[in-house]
Chains A and B, each alone.
Chain A
Amino acid sequence: MACGPNRVRLLCMLSLTFGYFIVEVVVSRITSSLSMLSDSFHMLSDVIALVVALVAVRFAEKTRATNKNTFGWIRAEVMGALVNAVFLTALCFTIVLEAIERFTEPREIDSPVLVATVGAVGLLVNLLGLCMFHGHAGGGHGHSHGGHSHGSKNKKAKTSQNAGNGSTVDETNNLVGNHNSPGEGRPTNELNCNDDTEVQMNGNTHYEEMDAQQDSSQLNMRGVFLHVLGDALGSVIVVINSLIFLFVWRPCGSDKDCVNPCVYDHDSHLPVNQTMLPMKSAGPCWVLYLDPTLCLFMVTILLYTTYPLLKESALILLQTVPKQINIHRLNERLQRLNGVLAIHDLHIWQLAGSRIIATAHIKCHDPTSYMEVAKRIKDFFHNEGIHATTIQPEFVTFSSQSRDSLCELSCQTQCAPKLCCGTADKQSSEKKVSGDSRSGAADPVCPESEAKVTVTKEAESSL
């Protein structure tokens, strides 16, 4: 099962981390060490990150469309990745705050041995987590969908030629569990990872499903991996710091004669007087500044590795054109297809992973030749790796030979800003409808008159 390993790994890691968090809290209460308590809260944030990832994985398995979420919950994984990335950034920020606090007011470690052992155990836990999630680290799977879709597109072309209108049902079966009438709401089956009803339409939908799921969950797992990496680095720093502290630092102990020159004491205002007796002073000061420096170093590493994940998930959520698709070239090649007069309002965006959705308005000659043109367009998009397309046909009216790139759905001026087609047609549609009869100008629902206009035009054309 494609979902199995991820969930099992996440659950394992979650239980380990949570257990370790409890241990740290208990130890901090016993030794009343504040730093251990704050470190345990870092562990808690790690637990929360894992919970977020787990929730996202659980949700994303529900690929069936529901009444409210017609695309299913596939996007949950991208969201999980974004949430993790944002939490990591916020965590880095707080670490920077604490490090700067330590710079201004250095603090000794109370019991370095205990801190070292707890840090080492934490490091072990995190290394285990790193091994578990390492396979999902950035660029683990080389599932370039271009390569994969070539294998499936041949089969798809054959099946789409056989079934006349079944091909449309094919594609969207790949995308989501289809439900035919909008009024129905099917209960989702949570444990059903590989949807059997989707296999029945097309043999290779199965593989595409798995592949797409793996691709999108990759983003989520990358977020988890980065979080665990950050924690591992933190544990490494704790261990290194406490060991150096243990061996290099000469503590003051209970000596009354000893003074700590590194820490600015508000109460005692001892003048630096060279004629006084040489007092014992605590160990080299640079040891106290090692902790914040290492922390800053770790923060830069974390931010550097988190930024690509943040950028990628944010770009998907901003509805960008996927980076592997050159929309300009696609537009040109689409226009060169037989039967396609013009294209406008082409939008391509990524739902999650390798599921790409495209919508466009295509201008064609007449309805009779439309079905072949539609097939050609669908095949073209399948070749590009876009399997969920919605093409709206627009048919040339008798009067619009010269303005090929404009929208055919005419409208009066007050509808123009509300139209799907952009402002390019605004001026020409103004000129176009100036001669037409217009119903009451106070009518806010303008498309009513639009329909009338179109109907009259068709009545004219049929004569």
Chain B
Amino acid sequence: MLPLSIKDDEYKPAKFNLLLKLSSWFRSILADKTSRNLFSFLCLNLSFAFVELTYGIWSNSLGLISDSFHMFFDCTALLAGLAASVISRWRSNDSFSYGYVRAEVLAGFVNGLFLIFTAFFIFSEGVERALEPPDVHHERLLPVSVAGLLVNLVGIFVFQHGGHGHSHGEEVSLVWTRSDNITDFLYGLWSVSVCVFVSVCVCLSLSLIIFFFFSVPDQYTPGKGSSKQILQGVLLHIMADTLGSVGVIISALLMQKYDLMIADPICSMLIALLIGVSVVPLLRESIGILMQRTPPSLDHVLPECYQRVQQLQGVYNLQEPHFWTLCTDVYIGTLKLLVAPDADTRWILSQTHHIFTQAGVRQLYVQIDMAAM
């Protein structure tokens, strides 16, 4: 009798694989400190945005709804950074012979582009409001802005550098309602309850972050430079928001004390310019890497190395050197050496590798061309 065996493995439902994939991603996020931070901050931001959205729909306030969507827009930048930090750790395969390490450079670049777009958007909104002052809405934005500043402070604590607060579109509408807000704030009992509700949410997210910080151990520490681009992009986003908050406060003061209505649009335009200017270094670096430029840190070292290689015995000439950055601190180089037919190729090869490894180029491809006699 032939044994009848049904292999259940082949008939697994697709849903099981999805759960498996999700859990493996989640584990991967929790493993690395940077991605843990990003994830917790993303959760905080998302929860705050949802709170704002629900409150806005409930009180039918246009400014709050649009501001919550601006926050979602910022969340996508955080999401891009998180995705990049997870993806860049995947192993190489047939399609990606270098692995996925370039993802972080790309994420930094895309973040920079989003920031420029946001700056452009704020600038255009500022121009619109300067040319046509909007109606003053009765919106209770003060408790929301207080909570936003809280989120900013949490961000400062989490990332140890900057904080990510509420988004920029809000500041523009905030100032116009400033004079109304004081009266509103003095009025409503329920605005205080909203405040309480929002701070409860903030505390909840804070506790989530603390839980992540102290409960999950560091399984392995990544190289220091490996997430530099991502963090730089996120940090710039945070700085942009901080600038926004500062600008709002300044313009509100100007408006209340000196009654300068024009202060608000001018502030938004200044903020937009500042954001644009601050993004330039990140963009320049990522563009340099993506354009296969010679690594800037090697700019002075390389001519020296070329000289040393050309002085090796048997080497006639060094041709077509190409050195480029794969990702932060990983440099790859190719070059061609014209050697005498009787030269000791093995020795030349190992010496060349030695010279360039001292300079910091780990992956080197040296092609040997023998000169015709």
Contacts and interface: CB of A to CB of B under 8 A. Distances in A.
B41 to A, nearest CB: 20
Given A79-B291, A101-B65, A165-B338, A86 B365 contact: no
Contacts of A323: 95
B351 A451 contact: yes
Contact of A76 (B106, B291, B354): B291
A97 interface: yes
A183 B303 contact: yes
B302 A182 contact: yes
Category for how many chain A residues contact B:
35 or more
B69 A349 contact: no
Interface string B3-44: 000000000000000000000000000000000000000000
A264 B60 contact: yes
Interface residues of B, number: 76
Given A104-B62, A264-B60, A458-B344, A45 B120 contact: yes
A104 B61 CA distance: 9
A360 B113 contact: no
B345 A351 contact: no
A18 to B, nearest CB: 16
B228 interface: no
B60 A178 contact: no
B66 interface: yes
Interface in B250-293: 287, 290-293
Nearest to B342: A367
Nearest to A105: B62
B94 A321 contact: yes
A344 B106 CA distance: 27
B218 interface: no
Contacts of B120: 45, 48
B124 A165 contact: no
A319 B345 contact: no
Contacts of A367: 345-346, 368
Interface string B331-373: 0001110100000111101110110011000111111111110
A162 B82 CA distance: 54
Interface of A: 29, 32, 34, 37-38, 41, 44-45, 48, 67-71, 73, 75-76, 79, 82-83, 86-87, 90-91, 93-94, 97, 100-101, 104-105, 164-165, 168-169, 172, 178, 180-183, 264, 266, 314, 317-321, 323, 327-328, 345-349, 351, 359-361, 367, 370-371, 374, 390-395, 408-409, 415, 418-420, 445, 447-448, 450-451, 454-455, 458
26 contacts: A68-B293, A69-B293, A70-B324, A71-B291, A71-B292, A71-B322, A75-B290, A79-B290, A83-B113, A104-B62, A164-B372, A165-B369, A178-B320, A180-B317, A183-B306, A318-B106, A328-B94, A348-B97, A349-B97, A359-B334, A370-B370, A391-B365, A392-B365, A408-B346, A447-B354, A450-B354
